[in-house]
Amino acid sequence: MLDTAATWLYIAGTSATSISFGDLNGDGSLDLAVGTARSPVVVFLNTSPPIPVELKSFTAVAGNKQIELSWSTSTELNNRGFEIERRIDGNFKYIGFVEGNGTTTEQNNYSYTDKNLSDGKYSYRLKQIDFDGSYEYSNVIETELKSLDAYILEQNYPNPFNPATKIIWQSPVDGRQTLKVYDVLGNEVATLKDEYKPAGVYEVVFDASQLSSGIYFYVLTTDGFVQSKKMLLLK
């Protein structure tokens, strides 16, 4: 939100006859100009441009009877926190709260897990609230929760792609999951995931900006399951 607090104030001369208030020197700051009998125009007040709460990303990953919401901010100003709202019976309703980081120019990452859910489609939005009570809503995101009864490796999207594409897969059991990318000669060019994960639905973004155009294969390997799919990089 806009912060108009002065960072410095200096008054010179006497018998002020006129006052101007606004961005007087065109640098995005807030200025106060006072005209006096001795000095026609003197700029006295400057402030730095306001830092908004800038939402960089907002995503949802569904799996194992829960949905994990993740979001990040690039900058924050007087951010008290975020109310999480889910659409219920056609209306958005409060389901939780995550504290903000006040005022900062650093990137901050947040998450919230909506648990014990049934299969179906879900919609969420964030209500960012300032310390003064003012607020602003994020865009609405949607996801679908499905029963984890099979391994699924979905086709990457977009495909063809340049330079990044998203890969989504599902595992019905806990275990080590490895997702790697190979070129047409069978050479490994990237490891996107290699760690123990609980049953769930997952996604990663493959950035191929350092690779040449061509056909590549991504391979998912878990306990007792191996599957590959083809994708096309066009630059």
Q: Where in the chain is the domain with CATH 2.60.40.10?
A: 54-145
Residue written as token pair 């829960």: 66
Question: Count of CB atoms within 10 A of residue 203's CB?
Answer: 13
Q: For residue 102, is it left (φ>0), alpha (ψ between -120 and 50) or beta?
A: left
Please give the CATH architecture assigned to the domain spanning 152-233: Sandwich (2.60)
Q: pTM value?
A: 0.52
Q: What is the full DSSP assignment across 26-41?
A: SSSS-EEEEEESS-S-
Residue 234 identity: L
CATH architecture of 54-145: Sandwich (2.60)
Q: Residues 38, 14: contact at Cβ < 8 Å? A: yes
Report the alpha-carbon distance of residue 19 to residue 27 in Å, rounded. Answer: 19
Return residue ranges of the chain for CATH 2.60.40.1930. 152-233
Cβ contacts of residue 224 below 8 Å, gap of 6+? none
Give the pLDDT of residue 35.
Answer: 54
Give me Rg for the CA atoms of the chain: 26
- Each residue's pLDDT, cut to its tens digit, for the chain (235 residues) gives 333 333 333 344 444 445 555 555 554 445 555 554 444 444 444 444 445 789 999 999 887 788 999 999 999 999 999 999 999 999 999 999 999 999 999 999 999 999 999 989 999 999 999 999 999 999 999 998 877 788 999 999 999 999 999 999 989 888 999 999 999 999 999 999 999 988 888 889 999 999 999 999 999 999 889 999 999 999 9
Q: What are phi and psi of 192, to 5 degrees?
A: -90, -30
| Dist. CA 114–CA 86, nearest whole Å | 9
pLDDT of 26:
52
Residue in this structure with the two tokens 């949802």, named with its chain if needed = 60
- Please tell me the predicted confidence (pLDDT) of residue 124: 98
**Given this model, what pLDDT does residue 10 score?**
38
Q: Token pair for residue 201?
A: 């639905």
Q: CB 24: neighbour CB atoms within 10 A?
A: 16
Question: Which residue in the block uniquely carries the two structure tokens 């912060």?
Answer: 3
